Amino acid sequence: MAICGFVFSLAANAQVQDRPPFGMDKYYVSASLSNFNLDYTKAESLKMDFNAKGGYLFEDDWMVTANLGYDWRKVGPNALSLGAGLRYYIEQNGLYLGAGANYVHRHDFDDFLPSVQLGYAFFLNRTVTLEPEVYYNLSLKDHVEYSGFGIRIGLGIYFE
């Protein structure tokens, strides 16, 4: 709840803009939850992941991102992840395509996961978005055991 309050307070201070929603020189912050036991990997059961993401639109429709995540597991060790990526927005409909990589640390192992995403930025107002996303993570440690698809829902804010 505190994180949601922080995100909405940033939205209240965001500037109103007449520029395109994914215009150059904008910043982005997001908080999201994923999986809700919908992510399937052979190695895991019930789990939920929390992700915080920041980004910068360095060119119209192109964003570089950095993210920090915490993955909770009912069975097995929890994980901490750190990653970076790139997004491309299709302005006509709000869809975005993303690619990135995450370093994941768990108690018993470390892993590197390249990732691809397909999402939609649904604007609730001029700066706040609801962002459903489908993603695929490819484990370089063990493709069969730790790779998987997932669903993520997030709340994002775009500001200058």
Element (H, E) at 29: strand 27-34
Q: How confident is the model at residue 14 (pLDDT cuts 50, 70, 90)?
A: very low
Q: For the chain, what is the domain count?
A: 1
Lowest model confidence (mean pLDDT) among 16-25, 27-36, 92-101, 114-123: 16-25
pLDDT score, position 103: 95
Tens of pLDDT along 60-112? 999 999 999 998 877 777 889 999 999 999 988 889 999 999 999 988 889 99
Q: What is the DSSP pairing of strand 47-59 with strand 148-159?
A: unpaired
What's this model's pTM, rounded to 2 decimal places? Answer: 0.79
Contact between residue 79 and residue 103 where contact means Cβ atoms under 8 Å apart: no
What confidence category does residue 23 fall into, taking pLDDT thresholds of 50, 70 and 90? confident
% of the chain residues with pLDDT over 90: 51
56 or 39, which is more confident: 56
Position 147 confidence tier, pLDDT thresholds 50, 70, 90: confident
* CATH code of the domain covering residue 127: 2.40.160.20
For residue range 120-131, list pLDDT tens digits in order.
999 999 889 999
119 lies in which domain range? 2-159
Reported residue count of the chain is: 160
CB 87 within 8 A of CB 95: no
